[in-house]
Amino acid sequence: MAFVTYDIHGQRSTDRHQSDQCDENANSLPVGSSVTLDGVLIDNTLNTAKSYVKLYANSGPTVGTTLPDMVLVAPAQNTIAYTFASGVAFSNFSFACVTTPGTSGNAGPTNAVVVSCLTH
């Protein structure tokens, strides 16, 4: 699983945090980091079931136990983009991808889900 941060210049969003195979293991920015989330792109085209991206203001959440601050759904075999016009502030930002919504969901998707988070 690759988790990479890219710098973006000349746009409101200055960073893209991407996981090429997002699963039930949280992808976390360094402890103490604060970001404003501008958008999330979820590519769930390889799965025949919905996937749920859980977003946390917690640098080390226990997926399935820690209450997520936001949950975004990706329809089966589709790509979906979420944008937040005013941005959503997070400290200690993390995200994970599972197949069941709500706090208790902790099983990762069968196939790769690509998740890109645009922040500034």
What is the b/e burial string over 78-92, where b = at least 16 CB atoms within 10 angstroms of the residue's CB? eeeebeeeebbebeb
Q: pTM here?
A: 0.90
- 71-104 pLDDT, tens per residue? 999 999 999 999 998 999 999 999 999 999 989 9
Whole-angstrom Cα distance, residue 80 to residue 42? 5
**Is 3.30.70 the CATH number for 3-101+111-119?**
no
| The pLDDT value given to residue 9 | 59
- 54-72 pLDDT, tens per residue? 999 999 999 999 999 999 9
- 18-57 pLDDT, tens per residue? 999 999 999 998 888 899 999 999 999 999 999 999 999 9
The structural domains of the chain, with segments of one domain joined by +, span 3-101+111-119
